[in-house]
Amino acid sequence: ILVLHIRKGRVLGKRPYILDINNKVTTNNEILPVFLEQYYTDKSTFIPDQIVVEKISTDLELVKRILEEIHPKLTIIKPPPNSRDEGMLKIAQKNVGLILGQRRLLAEQASAKMKQMYEDLRDMIPGLNQSPIYIEAFDISNTQGSNPTASMVVFRNGTPAPQEYRRYRIRLKQTPDDVGMMKEVVGRRYSRLLRETKPFPDLILVDGGKGQLNGAVDTLQNLNIQDQPIIGLAKQEEQVYVPGQSDPISLDPSSTASRVFQAIRDEAHRFAVTYHRLLRQKAETTSDLETIPGVGPKRHKQLLATFGSIEGIKHASLDELKTVLPSSIAQTVFNAISSQNNKPEKKKFKVWLPKNPST
């Protein structure tokens, strides 16, 4: 559905919508009423004086009554022939046709890309018997074992689906062990899919070599998940490990599969590193506060709950700190923060060079 925003005869903007109808619609005549009800009952949506539609139906009249409670002057009309409103409606209809055409073209291109990818991979990956439209990829991020995290990114039709991404804090392994960490996160992900009876991806990618792949395969087998297509992406570009083979397989760098895998690897790594950096910064800040005598995890949480952030704590007065902490500890915290805030900045030295240096 396309919404044109018109004021004083001028088109100010347009926006296409895909209607989430679920089981609400059984006939085409119900589509527009369902959309109008969803669209205009949102408190953030401005309700105009007039809504121009292609066809008036009984269901539309019911929606009009609902909306009139919010905006009594609202009218919903089907424009008369050869009127200015009908001209605007035809513009909307033409735009809808163009948008649908673009979407069909993109869908056809995505389908062709996935078919080509299947051709690249079908003889290589055990169990892959259809185009890998739905792919999940895992990456591990840790710095010398500190704050280890994992990320899972999802690609559908060769493009990212960020709303389906997941982040994991590693629970079992706190020392550098990428294989153990990969086993943990793969186990957590797919045991959950089993419990919730949700569909599995067409292909699983794990970032790493043979060790990470074998660990993930063992985990799937322990969950009694059989014949799940899975590969490991080697550190060398265009090389993948597949179950049952000791040596990696080289892909044509110009192939569709190679380009898609590289995009997935980059996105998984970016997502994992971003989360790991966030946790590391949080841990560093937390450890700074908790090194102050009398401030443990519990009081640290109380301070954050009261002042909202580390910056808020740093700018709190002594009296404000005393509302959360015992007087003696509040004084200790205040002194520690003050000494940090009053540390002199490193001096910056200026260097002057002669205008005409001699050689």
DSSP letters for 79-97: PPTTSHHHHHHHHHHHHHH
Distance from the first to the final alpha carbon of the chain: 74
Question: Is the pLDDT assigned to residue 176 strictly greater than 80?
Answer: no
Alpha-carbon distance 324 to 302, whole Å?
A: 7
> Per-residue DSSP letters for 161-175?
-GGG-EEEE-SS--S
Calculate what percentage of the chain has a pLDDT beyond 90: 18
pLDDT at 47: 79
- DSSP-derived 3-state class of residue 204: strand
Of 239, 217, 240, 218, nearest in space to 229 by CA: 217
Closest CA to 122 of 26, 235, 255: 255
Q: What is the mean pLDDT of residues 197-205?
A: 95
Angstrom CA distances, 240 to 94, 201, 234, 246, 265, stand at 47, 18, 5, 11, 12
What gap in Å lies between CA 176 and CA 323, rounded to an integer?
42
- Predicted structure pTM score: 0.58
**Positive or negative torsion for Cα 315, 320, 324, 327:** positive
Per-residue pLDDT of 42-64, as tens digits, reads 777 787 888 888 877 777 777 87
Give the pLDDT of residue 333.
85
Contact predicate 184/170, CB 8 Å: yes
Please tell me the predicted confidence (pLDDT) of residue 191.
96
Closest CA to 209 of 173, 243, 175: 243
Per-residue confidence (pLDDT) for residue 294, from 0 to 100: 79
* Arithmetic mean of pLDDT over the chain: 80
Q: What is the pLDDT of residue 99?
A: 81
pLDDT at 246 over 60: yes
Whole-number pLDDT of residue 347: 44
Sign of CA dihedral 52, 58, 60, 63: positive
Domains and CATH numbers, the chain: 2-99 (no CATH), 134-280 (3.30.420.340), 291-341 (1.10.150.20)
81-110 tens-digit pLDDT = 778 778 888 888 888 888 888 878 877 887
pLDDT on residue 237? 65
3-state secondary structure of 234: coil
Q: What is the pLDDT of residue 282?
A: 61
Whether residue 224 has pLDDT greater than 60: yes
